[in-house]
Amino acid sequence: MDLITNVCEYEAIAKQILPKMVYDYYASGAEDQWTLKENRNAFSRILFRPRILVDVSRIDLTTTVLGFKISMPIMIAPTAMQKMAHPEGEYATARAASAAGTIMTLSSWGTSSVEEVASTGPGIRFFQLYVIKNRNVVTQLVRRAEKAGFKAIALTVDTPLLGRREADIKNRFTLPSHLVLKNFEGLDLGKLDDKTNDSGLATYVASEIDRSLNWKDVKWLQTITSLPILVKGVLTAEDTKMAIEAGAAGIIVSNHGARQLDYVPATIMALEEVVKAAQGKIPVFLDGGIRRGTDVFKALALGASGVFIGRPVLFSLAANGEAGVRKVLQILHDEFELAMALCGCRSLKEITRDHVVTEWDRPRIAPRL
C-alpha cells in the first residue's frame, strides 16, 4: 500500500480482492460501455495553458459548498452498498471524508443507515435520494436524514429504470445475504430478490422506484424538507433551466458513472453547456471520470464549483478500508495543488477558462507583438 502513487492503482488491487460479482457491479457501465471509457478519455483531450512566473508560495484549495467550508473542491459521490467492498463500508468512508475536511454523500442504497453514518462523528454529509413509489417512506427517509444532521439532498433524476449493465445480468447480481439496504430495513424494502434471471437490482428498481418522477416532485420535495436540493443527473442546458425554475440549490452534472444511458457525452464534455445555462444562479458540480488532480483543475476551469468521486472511493475502500479512502483523497488533493501551482493559480478563483484549451475552442490567433 505504501507504494501506491496514484488513484487508478487501487482498481487493480480491488479486482484481485473482491468477489467477481461485487467488482463487476462497481466497475461496469451500461451496454457497450462507450460512455464509461469516454468519461475518462474526454479529460485527456483537454489541455492546459499554464501561466508562468506567478508567486505560488502559498496556495489555497479551500472552498464553500452550499455555505459549508471544505478543505478542497473534491467530495465523495454516493455509491451503493459499500459493505460489499469492506466490512466497515460507509462508516470508513464517512470517517475518511471527515478527516480530509470534505463532504461525503451517502447513498439511499447504503449498507449503513443515515443514523449509523451520523454516529461516526462530526462531518458535513449529504444524502442521495431515490424516490420510490411509497411517498410516505420517502418523506420518512428525508426527515431521518435531516434529523441525523445531513445538510443537503442529492436527488438522483436519471434512474426511472436501471440501465442495462450486462455484467450484473450475467452474474445475477444480488446483495450478499449478510447485508441489507439499511435505510429501508424494516420497511420490507431492505433486501434484493436473489431468485431472478436478471440483475437483482434491476428487478428491485423496476418494482420500487417511481417512474412517474418529474419536475413537480422537485417542488414537492421542498415542501417536506428545508434542506437544499441538488439535482443529480443533468446533462443539458434545457434541464439546467428547468432545475433552476424548480428551485434546485445546485446541479450535479452526472451520467451516473456511465451506468444508465450509454452514448451520452462524458460529463466533462457536457459541463460547459450546463454552466452557461446556469448563468451563475446556482453552483454546478461534476462527477464521472475524475482520477487525477489535473481532472479536477480542468472541471473547475470549465466552470464547475467542485467535483465528486465515486469508484476511486470504492476501490480504495476495498483495498485498504478507511486508510485507503484517506489516501485517495490525499493523492487527489496533492495532485490538484500541484496542477494549480504549475498553472500559476493560488486560489480557486484564479482558475479560469483561459487555463485550458478544448477541441471546441476556436484556434487562437497569436496577437501581433
Catalytic residue positions, numbered: 256
> Rounded to an integer, what distance in angstroms lies between the CA atom of residue 17 and that of residue 110?
21
Question: Residue 311 annotated as binding?
Answer: yes
Question: Residue 281 annotated as binding?
Answer: no
Question: Residue 196 annotated as binding?
Answer: no
Question: Residue 326 annotated as binding?
Answer: no
Question: Residue 163 annotated as binding?
Answer: no
Question: Residue 199 annotated as binding?
Answer: no
Question: Residue 290 annotated as binding?
Answer: yes
Question: Residue 263 annotated as binding?
Answer: no
Task: For residue 361, give every residue at least 6 positions away whose Cβ sits within 8 Å of its Cβ, in sequence order, or none.
Answer: none
> Rounded to an integer, what distance in angstroms lies between the CA atom of residue 352 and that of residue 152?
28
Q: Which amino acid is at 43?
A: F
> Rounded to an integer, what distance in angstroms lies between the CA atom of residue 179 and that of residue 22?
13
Question: Residue 130 annotated as binding?
Answer: yes
> Rounded to an integer, what distance in angstroms lies between the CA atom of residue 159 and that of residue 265?
17
- DSSP letters spanning 129-191: E--BS-HHHHHHHHHHHHHTT--EEEEE-S-SS----HHHHHHT----TT---GGGTTTT-S-
Angle between helices 267-278 and 293-301 (to 10 degrees): 30
Question: Residue 363 annotated as binding?
Answer: no
> Rounded to an integer, what distance in angstroms lies between the CA atom of residue 91 and that of residue 299?
29
According to DSSP, the β-strands at 306-309 and 284-287 are parallel
Question: Residue 80 annotated as binding?
Answer: yes
Question: Residue 178 annotated as binding?
Answer: no
Question: Residue 101 annotated as binding?
Answer: no
CA separation, residue 94 to residues 71, 105, 144 (Å): 15, 9, 17
Question: Residue 254 annotated as binding?
Answer: yes
Question: Residue 60 annotated as binding?
Answer: no
Q: Which stretch of DSSP H or E encloses residue 107?
A: none
> Rounded to an integer, what distance in angstroms lies between the CA atom of residue 228 and that of residue 285?
14
Q: What residues are designated binding site for glyoxylate?
A: 25, 165, 256, 259
Q: What residues are designated binding site?
A: 25, 78-80, 107, 128, 130, 156, 165, 232, 254, 256, 259, 287-291, 310-311
Q: What residues are designated binding site for FMN?
A: 78-80, 107, 128, 130, 156, 232, 254, 287-291, 310-311
